[in-house]
Structure 1
Amino acid sequence: MIYLPHVILVDEQDRQIGTMEKLEAHQRGLLHRAFSIFILNEHHEMLLQQRALHKYHSGGLWTNACCSHPLPGEAVEAAAHRRLVEELGIDCYLTPLFSFQYRTVFDNGLTEHEFDHVLLGHYSGPLQPDAGEVADCRFLSMPEIDYLLDTMPQTFTSWFHLAYPMLKSYLNTQIPVQVPSN
């Protein structure tokens, strides 16, 4: 028997209303809980990940450090730490920042409809990306990211186009916080 991961279905207030196999939730376009992790290094550069080419949507596109879904019964922060280790071979202190909802319909008929929790971490050590999840990764300055978004917007995921400006706005309005070192 093959295990197919399940996602947590939620209402508009992020209250759990059920669970469903991940692919079916994307086929039916149902709202489900997700998270997006942004990582900054000591130079205030942001870690970008290029999704593995074989992903069933957005393969080969650039996005934030790590994105995924908590499993049924798993807290968002616990899932975020789990996926950082699984995808990038790292872990770091994460600060929950904000959440937002979005819906994107892909050319292959799948729909990403997520209540997305955004977390921020700081990390400057080596990366050990899982080739099954990540095609490439790199740290870039925000001006470099802005330039790429302006000149090659099609190379980024739909949720990055939404979350990145919100993160920049958040960072510009917040008092810097001391985070524990790695």
Structure 2
Amino acid sequence: MDIENCLIIVDLDDKETGTGEKLEVHRKGLLHRAFSVFLFNGDSLLIQKRAAGKYHSAGLWANTCCSHPHAGETLAEAVSRRLFAECGIRDAEVTEAGCFVYRAVFADGLSEYEYDHVFVGEYDGSFVPDPGEIAELRYVKLEDLKREMLDHPERFTAWFFTALGIAERYRNLHAKDE
């Protein structure tokens, strides 16, 4: 099994219990480690529309970047690797804001059952989305985003709602520290 398609299977305490091939893990609905990155620029968030060719949640809006770490790779290394691969972003500093477990079953028989680590950062640099991963990448004001999420929740990925809440709470809590 090549490293690109190898996911880290975990328990509910995020302790590694093994590894598995990406598609098989999603077919069997096994709990695995993942991460979601939220890059803000003031009161705007950089969001992506997932490419049409994605094996699930294609064409839906999500956070800046999300993926899975490789076996033996730290979350920080994985976040950096995927921000560059998906978005062409090299220099974003992020901090882990929290984590959560979610499960979503899709019509094609695949499912996401993830222990998702949420990372937050501020970024005002350039980006170049990989068209194989991202159909569109844009900044949107949080106020406008929340209105769209209320009016059209079907346009967003299953994990986005919970992960955004964690990212926002973290930012609001730490804004008072600055």
> TM-score normalized by structure 2?
0.94
Offset, 1:125: 1.3
Residues 108-158 of structure 1: CA deviation (Å, up to 9, x unaligned): 111100000000121111111100100001101110110110111100000
Gaps of 5+ in 1: none
> Which residue identity does 2:100 align to in structure 1?
F
CA distance, structure 2, for counterparts of residue 122 and residue 4 of structure 1: 28
Offset, 1:2: 7.7
> Which residue identity does 1:134 align to in structure 2?
I
CA distance, structure 2, for counterparts of residue 132 and residue 75 of structure 1: 24
* Structure 1 residue aligned with 2:164: 164
SS at match of 1:171: helix
* Structure 1 residue aligned with 2:34: 34
CA distance, structure 2, for counterparts of residue 2 and residue 80 of structure 1: 19
SS at match of 1:154: helix
Residues 40-71 of structure 1: CA deviation (Å, up to 9, x unaligned): 11x33100000001101000000000000001
Q: For 1:141-160, what aligned pairs fall within 5 Å after superposition?
A: 141-160=141-160
Residues 65-96 of structure 1: CA deviation (Å, up to 9, x unaligned): 00000011111110000000000000211111
| Residue correspondences, number | 177
Distance 1:9 1:123, change over 3 A: same
Q: For 1:48-67, what aligned pairs fall within 5 Å after superposition?
A: 48-67=47-66
Gaps of 5+ in 2: none
The question of 1:109 aligning with 2:109 is answered yes
Distance 1:136 1:169, change over 3 A: same
Q: Percent identity?
A: 44
Say if 1:4 and 1:21, in contact at 8 Å, map to a contact too. Answer: no
